[in-house]
Structure 1
Amino acid sequence: MLEFTWPWVFLALPLPLFIYRLMARAPRQDAALYVPFFSVLSRLQSDNENLRSGRLLNLICCTLIWLLMILAASRPQWLGDPVQLPSTGRDLMLSVDISGSMEAQDMVVGNRQASRIDVVKAVVGDFVERREGDRLGLILFAAHAYIQAPLTFDRATVGTLLEEAEIGIIEESATAIGDAIGLGVLHLRNRPENSRVLVLLTDGVNNAGAVSPEQAGQLAQQENIKIYTIGIGADQVVQRTFFGARAINPSAELDEAVLTQIAESTGGRYFRARDVNDLVEIYEELDRLETIEQDEQTYRPTRVLFYWPLGAALLISFILALFSIPWLSMAGKARIEPDEADELADSEASRA
């Protein structure tokens, strides 16, 4: 269906006619100068008369340009058929740690080592694709927390933004878990109470930010937001050195106590992902979150059309300007100048 965003613009349609009727015409003056080379001017005058014969065409073109400009200014748009949005699901905010420690390659995919962030992108990306009917959002955090995608049904965009997340786009020297939770609370608190879920994944301890994880957890509890926390990182990695192999714990800084406390206080759970299989199982379990009924919503896809009449008006204006150039007069003048030179040469020859 065709619709005009600003239909009141059509009130300006008769404006050129009003200006033509109300404004006084410029006074016309007859020629008062007589010149001896009248024949030359008459030849130019004939060319100008040929140009003036197109006044009607010019008037039609100018009228058409004005109509197209008014049409473009009214912002026409085409409204498609109503599309039903999913009426069940949850408001699910994903909060992903992209601090420098997420580059640690303590995950095994197949027979090769993989970094934590690469595994998270793969597993969480699959999780996002499966969450049909949910509104999904994405928060990235390191030393600071930022909303990367607000709550939306557009799962493809959320997955793309997660895939494009790189360590280093936020200051990576620290981890602001409390700020990440607080930002999630800010974006979830206005949603239906029984649908608010925050899934936070990290591999470290809170050592930055303005809000502590405990304070943020209390805010989430007050807003009835359920938080699921995931601690990622292997418990043991064999490190080979010049003096031989030794086992180290790459997840020694993971604050499991705080993550467990936050999850349990809000009605959620804490999960421990020591390898890829653990992480896959965790998100499969999160997939089983019960759905709830939400208000039915529809939207109509919109396609703007103003650039078509605007482009047509510009094209006609260009053509009109091109044909308004007195090509014939310039060509006649070019013919006259050689004739005058010949006449001058003949007169000088006769005097000689």
Structure 2
Amino acid sequence: MVEFVWWWAFFLLPLPLLVWLLPGKAQQQDAALHVPAVLPGQTEHSTVAARSVTLPVLLSLIWLLLITAAARPQWLGEPVSVPNEGREMMLAVDLSGSMKIDDMTLNGDRVNRLTMTKSVLHDFIKRRLSDRLGLILFADTAYLQAPLTFDRQTVAQLLDEAVIGLVGEQTAIGDAIGLAVKRFDDKKKTNKVVILLTDGQNTAGNITPAQAKELAVENDVTVYTIGVGADSMVVQSFFGSRQVNPSQELDEDMLTDIANSTGGKYFRARDVSELEQIYSRLDELEPIEADGQKLRPLTALFFYPLAAALIVSFLLVAVAIIKPRLSLNSVTAGAQH
């Protein structure tokens, strides 16, 4: 809807009429409207009459537009919910070579661990309405794919574009946690949360998991760790099919220690349903904040009537300059003939 901040400015609309009705103004106006130069085919009376109608209308229009602009019109948008408290949540996703093991089932099809993670993590991202989300991808090293933002759609898109082997084949868990801790804003009083998803153990990086854990504790960052991978799968070999444990390299003790030391929790995701349950559990542990207050965005509109008033003024001035010259030329040409 449109509202006027200084609506009382419309009380100034009759001001020109009051000035017009002052004693002596009518005679001065009649004298000002007397134009000796008459276009061919027109009488002096018709020219003066036309000007006596057009000029006040244009001037009144300009005055109305100026008063409208002075009243500060603005557009009130739809109410936007603003949370009372902020939460910063960094998602750290493993892109090491082992994430391409296809020991997961999604919609009846065998898929690799990263594909399953993307599918389930999308729903989790959509639910975090009040949180600033960030995305870290790690393998041989960790790098920031998306800084903390309220733009959940962009975070989900960048997650979709992640591919295995993008930054190597190993697993730098310590670097991922350390980078996440450094990206949090110390100036803001928020709940700082890291959700680390991996299927292996720390095999690379400049920071050890123990050092990263201490860094998280010092900065009051809560780390939730998720170990991904099935406990068993059937593989084909030269000697026939056999059952193996594809998650034998998963360092659950290390992931559990990091989570417990920082006030978080370690989860085990052996299939899609377990991972979905984990994200539902995370919603309970780190609940989405309720709407704190409603704000309506404002868009200023004063420049529209102001621009219209300027355009009409320029046209009025242009006509006042050009029309007398045309009239004078017409009269001169008639006298010569």
Report the TM range for the smaller structure's normalisation. 0.5 to 0.7
Indicate the SS of the match to 1:151: strand
Q: Output one character per residue of 1:267-326: Cα deviation in whole Å (capped at 9) or x when no partner.
A: 000000011111010001111223568998989699xxxxxxxxxxxxxxxxxxxxxxxx
Counterpart of 1:225? 221
What aligned pairs does 1:123-272 form with structure 2 within 5 A after superposition? 123-171=120-168, 173-188=169-184, 190=186, 192-193=188-189, 195-272=191-268
Instruction: Work out whether residues 128 and 288 of structure 2, in 8 Å CA contact, stay in contact via their aligned partners in 1.
Output: no
Alignment partners' CA distance in 2, 1:208 and 1:161? 24
Structure 2, unmatched stretches of 5+, are 1-73, 300-337
Return closer, same or farther for 1:119/1:194 CA change in 2, 3 Å cut-off. Answer: same
Structure 1, unmatched stretches of 5+, are 1-78, 303-352
Instruction: Work out whether residues 103 and 230 of structure 2, in 8 Å CA contact, stay in contact via their aligned partners in 1.
Output: yes
Counterpart of 1:102? 99
Alignment partners' CA distance in 1, 2:137 and 2:248? 22
Indicate the SS of the match to 2:194: strand
Alignment partners' CA distance in 2, 1:155 and 1:301? 24
Counterpart of 1:16? none
Alignment partners' CA distance in 2, 1:198 and 1:294? 23
Instruction: Work out whether residues 95 and 138 of structure 2, in 8 Å CA contact, stay in contact via their aligned partners in 1.
Output: yes
Instruction: Work out whether residues 177 and 206 of structure 1, in 8 Å CA contact, stay in contact via their aligned partners in 2.
Output: yes
Return closer, same or farther for 1:240/1:169 CA change in 2, 3 Å cut-off. Answer: closer
The amino acid across from 2:270 in the alignment is R
Please report how far the alpha carbon of residue 81 of structure 1 lies from its aligned counterpart in structure 2 after TM superposition: 5.9
Please report how far the alpha carbon of residue 263 of structure 1 lies from its aligned counterpart in structure 2 after TM superposition: 0.2
Counterpart of 1:339? none
The amino acid across from 2:180 in the alignment is G
Indicate the SS of the match to 2:83: coil
Counterpart of 2:277? 281
Indicate the SS of the match to 2:253: helix
The amino acid across from 1:257 in the alignment is D
Q: Output one character per residue of 1:16-46: Cα deviation in whole Å (capped at 9) or x when no partner.
A: xxxxxxxxxxxxxxxxxxxxxxxxxxxxxxx
Instruction: Work out whether residues 223 and 258 of structure 2, in 8 Å CA contact, stay in contact via their aligned partners in 1.
Output: yes
Counterpart of 1:320? none
Counterpart of 2:308? none
The amino acid across from 1:228 in the alignment is Y
The amino acid across from 1:186 in the alignment is K
Return closer, same or farther for 1:291/1:121 CA change in 2, 3 Å cut-off. Answer: closer
Q: Output one character per residue of 1:186-210: Cα deviation in whole Å (capped at 9) or x when no partner.
A: 0125164551110000001111111
Counterpart of 1:331? none
Alignment partners' CA distance in 2, 1:301 and 1:195? 30
Task: Report the TM-score when normalising by structure 1.
Answer: 0.59
Alignment partners' CA distance in 2, 1:300 and 1:212? 47
Return closer, same or farther for 1:296/1:191 CA change in 2, 3 Å cut-off. Answer: farther
Indicate the SS of the match to 2:114: helix
Alignment partners' CA distance in 2, 1:191 and 1:81? 32
Instruction: Work out whether residues 138 and 162 of structure 1, in 8 Å CA contact, stay in contact via their aligned partners in 2.
Output: yes
Alignment partners' CA distance in 2, 1:118 and 1:160? 14
Indicate the SS of the match to 1:148: strand
Task: Report the TM-score when normalising by structure 2.
Answer: 0.61
Return closer, same or farther for 1:299/1:190 CA change in 2, 3 Å cut-off. Answer: farther
Please report how far the alpha carbon of residue 124 of structure 1 lies from its aligned counterpart in structure 2 after TM superposition: 0.4
Alignment partners' CA distance in 2, 1:218 and 1:294? 34
Q: Output one character per residue of 1:76-95: Cα deviation in whole Å (capped at 9) or x when no partner.
A: xxx98686543344211100
